[in-house]
Amino acid sequence: MRLLIRFMPLSRPASLPLDNYPFAGLIYRSVWMAAPDYAEFLHEEGYAAEPRGSPEPVLPEHKRFKFFVFSRIEQRGKRIAEGRQWFGPGPIEWRVASPIDEQMELLAAGLIAQGVISIGDKQGAAELGLSEIIELPTPRIMRRMRFTTISPIFVAVDDGGPTKQHLRAEDPRFAERVKMNLLRKYRALTGTEPGNTEFEFRFDGQPKSQLVQYRETHHHCYVGRIEVAGSEELIRLGWECGFGEANSKGFGMVDVRS
């Protein structure tokens, strides 16, 4: 299920951090308001992936998935200045999706219960009034699809160093890791293997590199147009909960392009 959530800024001026962390926190907080036990499970545990068929060991940080993804928050005329997003008086749009419908239903219930959302960081918070929540239709998924990123795609590998290596788009491991991640998510979600494990991923043209913050970590990631082909099950899962890694931190959400 994919939700389009519209807010109206109540603060003047309204500014929000570029950091994705407060937006992930808003999702957990809203789910908690509707179902505290499930929210605690989602935040602290998540859904475990099985290593079956994996060409390498499943790393601890890859064992569990939260199965949601969200877009960057957008508004016509939004500007970036002083390391923050600044908003005018018009509607603000945000997309959140999950292959688990219950998650999105709980999110919607929690947002409605709050009505007015306070979100921000140490530099300040903005108040947003909930305007509407719309369930967006699922597109027809085919064996070959073209998408546009609405939040950047992030992929990393553990090379034994103190930190993970953030892969560049031209690295051949980038596409391999996108596929491996989808297979792990599919196993964690269904407990089975997809009927067809074929999957190809590539950027259509030159993607734009971005450095996106999540708490104290900056993620080297990419936005642009992508093409995928192969298993419809895997393509649908990518549309539902994101391509690449760290989806629950706001990476890898896409929309269909003609």
Please check whether residues 25 and 107 belong to one and the same domain: yes
**Could you give the number of structural domains in the chain?**
2
User: Looking at the structure, do residues 113 and 203 belong to the same domain, yes or no?
Assistant: no
In this structure, are 164 and 224 located in the same domain? yes
> Which of 119, 136, 153 corresponds to the end of one domain?
136
pLDDT digits 0-9 by tens, 159-200: 777 778 899 999 999 999 999 999 999 999 999 999 999 999
Last residue of a domain, one of 110, 136, 162: 136
Q: Do both 125 and 18 map to the same domain? A: yes
Q: Do 113 and 76 sit in the same domain of this protein?
A: yes
pLDDT at 50: 61
- Co-location of 70 and 163 in the same domain: no
**Reported pTM:** 0.90
The CATH number linked to 6 is 3.30.70.1890
Tens place of pLDDT per residue across the chain (258 aa): 999 999 999 988 888 888 899 999 999 999 999 999 999 999 988 898 765 444 444 444 446 899 999 999 999 888 999 888 999 889 999 999 999 999 999 999 999 999 999 988 888 788 999 999 999 999 999 999 999 999 999 999 987 777 788 999 999 999 999 999 999 999 999 999 999 999 999 999 999 999 998 988 889 999 999 999 999 999 999 999 999 999 999 999 999 986
* Residues of the domain holding 200: 144-256
In this structure, are 10 and 125 located in the same domain?
A: yes
CATH number of the domain within which 247 lies:
3.30.70.1900
Q: Do 94 and 193 lie in a common domain? A: no
DSSP track, the chain: -EEEEEEEE-SSSEEEES-SHHHHHHHHHHHHHH-HHHHHHHHHT-EEPP-TT-SSPPPGGGSEE---EEPPPB-TT-EEETTEEEE-SS-EEEEEE-S-HHHHHHHHHHHHHH-EEEEEETTEEEEEEEEEEEEEPPPPP-SEEEEEESS-B--EE--SSSSPEEPPTTSHHHHHHHHHHHHHHHHHHHSS--S---EEEEESS-PEEEEEEETTEEEEEEESEEEEEE-HHHHHHHHHH-SSS-GGGT---EEE--
Residues 188 and 77 in one domain: no
Q: Are residues 10 and 129 in the same domain?
A: yes
At residue 63, the pLDDT reads 60
Looking at the fold, whether 248 and 161 belong to one and the same domain comes out as yes
- The answer on 184 and 158 residing in a single domain is yes
